[in-house]
Structure 1
Amino acid sequence: MSDIEHDAPAADPIGDVDPEIITPVADGLADARAAILERIADHVVFDGWSPAAIAAAAAEAGVSAETARLAFPRGVDAAMGFHLRGDRKLAEALAQEPLGGMGMTDRITRAVRLRLEIAEPDRETVRRAASLFALPVNAGNGAKMVWNTADTIWTALGDGSEDLNWYTKRATLSGVISSVTLYWLGDESEGRADTWAHLDRRIADVMRIEKAKAAVRRNPLGKIAMGGFDRLTRGVRAPRRAGA
């Protein structure tokens, strides 16, 4: 069965992102971060993901300048927090979506589209974040954000893989998310129709690759080759959230 079509009970998710930003509870700054992120989008449009934007949003929220600096020491920290806030909204929205009657491919397509629909009111803010994450010094954090979105989707859709598939599913979906997001940022078509067509094409590309992989596994020589690969990767296990 292909990675993108696999359907299984939910597994414990993991995020390879700074835990203080994902779940900022231990340091007592959760409320301050949430209040700043609620107001920061309009300021980012003018000031970028900068200390000035953080300070302006904090002032609106009644958060002291000192607390704001502790909450988000750098602009990239605020950009990451904003992205993860959108991922949490996505998880909540997917829990309410009537996905039961859809095939897995349609579920994934719907989830990616829903993530962009959540971001639509703040498209310019996302554009600024994309430019920030494109800088070499921030590229690793940008990759983590895309990975977190892919993990959010697979977890919400009930992925239960515990081996190499855990990684390949998220890596494949991360590529789709990155491509579609960049297309969306430049799309001026009515209702973003061109973006949704691009999304459909990317998902179709993935399915063609998965079908080709399945055909290799059915071939006698392919079975031998893939059998060796499977033995090499047999010890690869999905990570688990701390405390799980």
Structure 2
Amino acid sequence: MTDTDTTRAIGRVAVVTGGSRGIGRAVAHRLGSGGAAVVVGYVAGAAAAEEAVSAITAAGGRAIAVQADITDEDAVAALFDQAEETFGGVDVVVNAAGRMALSPIADLDLAVLDQLHRTNVRGTFVVAQQAARRLRAGGSFVGFSSSVVGTQFPEYGAYAASKGAVEAMTMVLARELRGRDVTVNTVAPGPTATDLFLEGKTEEQVEALAMAPPLQRLGTPEDIAEVVAFLTSPEGHWVNGQVLRANGGMI
């Protein structure tokens, strides 16, 4: 990392939902190490959120943790209020919060489907709505999809459908923000070594997924965080309305 990389976000403020673990935590740490003040949004697990904050501040950054369920519009508005009150505004919004449920379509409990779509679709919409209202000029919104929208693996029907909705919002919001100097993009990771991904999978399943990309490994949260850092940087500001499949070369 060059000196420019570590200072280019100084003075900027980033809101990262799902920032207490996995990819969201890596994103929060990467943006914090780049000089941004970071609001670590989380829905549960206050200790993990505070650990994420401590890691950022220990490295010389500024960060706070704020609890908010992304499906609750009042809680999300309060999260953005706290970002503005503490740090003066919002320049970057990354919605890394999400939910996964795997099942054949024929067998999925519809209550689980409703919970999944409430978080992944409504939650993304609620966060995007606040981002659209509050991002300052030069700012960026990054949502999260999944490469499974393209790979279409069995048992991912409900999850892929919810992430397809996120992709559908991307260009629409980018066009709605015409003239604001704000970019909107979505990152669609492939198999990435997070607790959410590894949960419930056998070693054989994990190995098979690791060998699927031509690079023959799982992605890491840090791999994805670097993509987000680029998209939210001045260098990445010409990329707008896109879905970027960060997956090591999977279809």
Higher helix fraction (1 or 2): 1
Determine which structure has greater relative contact order: mean sequence separation of CA pairs < 8 Å that are 6+ residues apart, divided by chain length.
1
TM-score between both structures, scaled by the size of structure 2: 0.28
Q: Which has the larger radius of gyration?
A: 1
Higher strand fraction (1 or 2): 2
TM-score between both structures, scaled by the size of structure 1: 0.29
